[in-house]
Amino acid sequence: MAADPRFFPCAGPQTLASIATVAGGQYQGDAERRFTGVASLQAATPDEVSFIDHRRHLPGLKQSQAGAVVLPAELAAEVPEGCIAIVVASAYLGFARVARLFHPVPALEPGVHPTAVVAPDAEVGPGCEIGPYAVIGAGAILGAGCAIGAHVVVGPGVELGAGCRLHPHSCISHAVAGAGVVLHPGARVGQEGFGLLVGPDGRFETVPQLGKVVLGDGVEVGANSCIDRGSQSDTIIGPGSRIDNLAQIGHNVQTGKGCVIVALAGISGSAVLGDYVTVAAQAGIAGHLKVGRKARIGAQAGVMNDVPEGIDVVGSPAWPVRETFRAFSALRKLAQPPGSKKAGEKT
Amino acid sequence: MAADPRFFPCAGPQTLASIATVAGGQYQGDAERRFTGVASLQAATPDEVSFIDHRRHLPGLKQSQAGAVVLPAELAAEVPEGCIAIVVASAYLGFARVARLFHPVPALEPGVHPTAVVAPDAEVGPGCEIGPYAVIGAGAILGAGCAIGAHVVVGPGVELGAGCRLHPHSCISHAVAGAGVVLHPGARVGQEGFGLLVGPDGRFETVPQLGKVVLGDGVEVGANSCIDRGSQSDTIIGPGSRIDNLAQIGHNVQTGKGCVIVALAGISGSAVLGDYVTVAAQAGIAGHLKVGRKARIGAQAGVMNDVPEGIDVVGSPAWPVRETFRAFSALRKLAQPPGSKKAGEKT
Amino acid sequence: MAADPRFFPCAGPQTLASIATVAGGQYQGDAERRFTGVASLQAATPDEVSFIDHRRHLPGLKQSQAGAVVLPAELAAEVPEGCIAIVVASAYLGFARVARLFHPVPALEPGVHPTAVVAPDAEVGPGCEIGPYAVIGAGAILGAGCAIGAHVVVGPGVELGAGCRLHPHSCISHAVAGAGVVLHPGARVGQEGFGLLVGPDGRFETVPQLGKVVLGDGVEVGANSCIDRGSQSDTIIGPGSRIDNLAQIGHNVQTGKGCVIVALAGISGSAVLGDYVTVAAQAGIAGHLKVGRKARIGAQAGVMNDVPEGIDVVGSPAWPVRETFRAFSALRKLAQPPGSKKAGEKT
């Protein structure tokens, strides 16, 4: 079952040679044999290419009718009769490349939709596509080849590097973005952060939030995620970092490069993350903390202390993983009814 | 206090007979007596209808000035003097029906707003209402009687069954929806899932997400909730399932029919839920897990293992409810200060 | 480093006298000396004003090149040579006032954008600014000086008091708002709450949600946060309350004045919060609970019982803070490997 052609135009049949080239793999077979698309092991037909990257999926491979499978050398002998093995170093990566060969990123249709409102002094680089009802504010600067979707609002003075893609309903203000930045639908970048204080009359007053957001090259912000601008310094998301949907990044947060923030996670104001930090789904990091390079914050963790480099933490409060799992284990024993076998195994 | 007429036009006074008919109930009184609306027990006037579905609300019933109350047989004798009991099998359902009698779902105003952008080859079924600034993409197909709100974006090729209601600011792409599907404001369906891998140069690369989203008949997606399309297979939400606000459904998730996903919950990619599964507020389900039919995931639970049919789990990690509550109880005893009475009750 | 002039127009240089006046402070120095803006201690140049509000930031003060620093009396002697101390009762508040002096809230540009769709019977007060593609529904009433951003949807009959600011992509229906209410980008107010019941055929039916939302004066709703309207009564947010991003307020919730709801928190239907309640990030409050005045709900807490006035709770389930911390401490001891020193310290 190929990718639904209503949504994923196909570049047309591809030869085995082309496929193996983009996958970075070796094969034995007819270089000119044509395939029509990619599919999962379960769904693929003999005209389609699939992949397997781990031994645990072997049953699926054995049953598959895929005409060719991208896989690592150690699994090459497992392909069913008639199926061509395309042997690669990294099967998932190779497959992603093949999928992209069949379904290239849709080309932009450069031009400004007649309904788009573009400020007279905004600079729109060559090859940009600006969609229906987009609003580009005064003094905004769009690099070459940006795709601005329907209803997107780019605020005054905002700068986008080349090749940014802003999906429908996203908005960005008080921000500067590098090249290749992606905002998924409904992403919100640059709004006022949650800075309030109690005034002399007991009411809340807003503290002016005078920083901006800086998105490094290749940063992606998920659907409906929010990144608040800084209060006196900037909120900075390091190059290549990826933020999933419905995540919250508070004012003055700084991340290194290549960070991954998963859905519904929250990073409180002024926290600083090193390079390649992973924050799993629904985790929370308290304000002003430091999370070291390559640390990994587990799902639903509640980080209340700095996390050193390379450490994995989980739990709320978050402790190093082994410690947390011992705690869970101890707690589970305590939870056994009195007199049960499991209870008797208390340490 | 009737429903605010600025927001809830009233179909006009209704007779006791009509009211009892839609509620499915029996009464004693003047069939032609007219009532003007519905209200809570606390707020209702003698011209209004209320309901009670549980004994614990008896004080409210005793004090109520409602002219009629929808209720189960066992509470019928409790109505105040002069108040008419409308006896039904299910009071909440009966009341919902009465409320709807007074306040029918507003009829559509078929037509396409002059500012809507509708692709020339999009098919718009009879009786559709398309609101200001909506954008309907190339080849999209809308069934009869769909209501498309202001600023909604329906992506190219998207198919909506009859009677779908897409509220303002929602968007749907790479998707097929059945009949009567509802997207609440800001809901996001069909965007690219969180599929990334580490490329050979250490940078993230996007894995093409070539699946779509399939929403069964009657599915409702809450405000600002997100459903990502699949990577190679589809993300599938079973008929009649309801998703509350600010929830995240990852790529390749499949749910059975009649599932309930409450606010701020997250279902990670490739998890599979059976029929009638309930996932309570802020719960999380890890990727690739299986949750069996009619299982119930408690609020803030962290599900890290498959959940069998009909099992209730809570806690993070999530365990069967009785076990978790015993764990909490044991933990609370441990938390007592040394020498305190409660501490001495340790088992 | 001044606030980025692309995003924060500056009112121009200000005299020391003006600065001290708005800060409410005393100083010694040339009243006519001019400063150009505000900045953090780390970033400020001799033409800029900074602040310090706590001894722990003293190292930053010692290193600072700020020309003047707003601070409390006890730190006045610590300013570097040549730096002017502006002594105030409350440094953070004083600084916020100075920041606002340099960067006043941008004035509205009264008028209705030609692309805005305003219903003929909507009432738009004097001095309102209505932005591109905004939609103002039938019978809506906007007080004086409201700022309605691009793509905002104000539903039929909605009433906004004077000086409300609705940021791009927000929407509000079935609601009445007081003066000075702010909706940040993507905020959703007034949509149907999550009211469903199981019908006689086993399918879900929607219970008509016939209440509205009432936002008190000065309420602020964060980016992409959601407030559902009531089912029979109203959802009420008390004056001055502030809701951060990505938070969920369920139907029929009522809050007192000055409540603070932080990002990703969820308040389930019919919960009632007193005045000045704080709900920290990612916390959850179960339905129908009562949270007393000035109670504080900790980050990620799971509140399953009423919380009395003035009590601080944390944990899931949420217990009074001291109890929860003792529980964490006990759990951590249980988590030590057998025979370890820490394990031997078990109480």
Res B16: pLDDT: 98
Res C312: pLDDT: 98
Q: To which H or E segment does residue A93 belong?
A: helix A91-102
Res A303: pLDDT: 98
pLDDT in tens, A173-194: 999 999 999 999 999 999 999 9
Calpha distance B223→B168 (Å, rounded): 10
Fold of B14-102: 3.40.1390
Closest to C318 measured CA to CA, from C277, C285, C294 = C285
Share of chain B above pLDDT 70, in %: 97
User: Tokens at residue A119, please?
Assistant: 């400020």
Contacting residues of A for C90, CB less than 8 Å apart: 200
User: Tokens at residue B70, please?
Assistant: 């929808």
Nearest CA in chain A to B302: A300
Average pLDDT over residues C68-93: 96
pLDDT at residue B13 is higher than 80? yes
What secondary structure does DSSP assign to C261-281, as a single string?
E-TT-EE-TT-EE-TT-EE-T
B167 is annotated as an active-site residue: no
Q: Does C206 touch chain B (CB under 8 A)?
A: yes
Contacts of B304 (CB under 8 A, 6+ apart): B286, B289, B317, B318
pLDDT at residue C52 is higher than 80? yes
Long-range contacts at C304-307 (CB < 8 A, ≥ 24 apart): none
Res C159: pLDDT: 98
Q: To which H or E segment does residue C49 belong?
A: strand C48-51
Res C341: pLDDT: 58
Rounded to the nearest 5°, which phi and psi values hold at A117? -105, 110
Calpha distance C149→C164 (Å, rounded): 11
pLDDT at residue B168 is higher than 70? yes
Average pLDDT of chain B? 95
User: Tokens at residue C115, please?
Assistant: 């692309």
pLDDT category at B344 given cuts 50, 70, 90 is very low
Res B342: pLDDT: 56
Calpha distance C114→C105 (Å, rounded): 24
pLDDT in tens, B74-84: 999 999 999 99
What secondary structure does DSSP assign to A111-138, as a single string?
EE-TT-EE-TT-EE-TT-EE-TT-EE-T
What 3 state SS string does chain B have?
A: CCCCCCCCCCCCCEEHHHHHHHHCCECCCCCCCEECEECCCCCCCCCEEEECCCHHHHHHHHHCCCCEEEEEHHHHHHCCCCCEEEEECCHHHHHHHHHHHHCCCCCCCCEECCCCEECCCCEECCCCEECCCCEECCCCEECCCCEECCCCEECCCCEECCCCEECCCCEECCEEECCCCEECCCCEECCCCCCEEECCCCCEEECCCCCCEEECCCCEECCCCEECCCCCCCEEECCCCEECCCCEECCCCEECCCCEECCCCEECCCCEECCCCEECCCCEECCCCEECCCCEECCCCEECCCECCCCEEECCCCEEHHHHHHHHHHHHHHCCCCCCHHHHCCC
Indicate the domain borders of chain B. Answer: 14-102
pLDDT at residue A347 is higher than 50? no
Q: Which of C103, C167, C184, C251 is catalytic?
A: C251
pLDDT at residue C334 is higher than 90? no
pLDDT at residue C99 is higher than 90? yes
pLDDT at residue B234 is higher than 70? yes
Q: Do the Cβ atoms of C186 and C224 come closer than 8 Å?
A: yes
Share of chain A above pLDDT 70, in %: 97
* Residue where the block lists tokens 């409810």: B321
Res A335: pLDDT: 82
Distance between B121 CA and the closest CA of chain C, angstroms: 25
Whether C233 and B258 lie within 8 Å, measured CB to CB: no
Facing residue for C115 by CB, picked from A117, A186, A300: A117
pLDDT category at C14 given cuts 50, 70, 90 is very high
pLDDT category at B5 given cuts 50, 70, 90 is very high
pLDDT in tens, B199-232: 888 899 999 999 999 999 999 999 999 999 999 8
User: Tell me, what amino acid is at A16?
Assistant: L
Burial zone of A55 (CB within 10 Å; 0-12 exposed, 13-18 middle, 19+ buried): exposed
Average pLDDT over residues C209-213: 97
pLDDT at residue A220 is higher than 50? yes
pLDDT in tens, B236-265: 999 999 999 999 999 999 999 999 999 999
C-alpha distances out from residue B40 to A336, B37, B75, C209, Å? 45, 11, 17, 12
Calpha distance A109→B192 (Å, rounded): 20
Res C346: pLDDT: 43
Buried b / exposed e over C142-153, threshold 16 CB at 10 Å, is bbebbbbbbbbb
pLDDT in tens, B296-333: 999 999 999 999 999 999 999 999 999 999 999 988 88
Distance between C99 CA and the closest CA of chain A, angstroms: 6
User: Tokens at residue A86, please?
Assistant: 């395309």
Res A30: pLDDT: 95
Largest CA distance in chain A: 81
pLDDT category at B346 given cuts 50, 70, 90 is very low
Q: Does A185 touch chain C (CB under 8 A)?
A: no
Burial zone of C106 (CB within 10 Å; 0-12 exposed, 13-18 middle, 19+ buried): exposed
Q: Does A320 touch chain C (CB under 8 A)?
A: no
Report CA torsion sign: C194, C198, C199, C203. positive
Interface of C with A in 68-127 (CB under 8 A): 90, 92-93, 95-96, 99-100, 103, 115
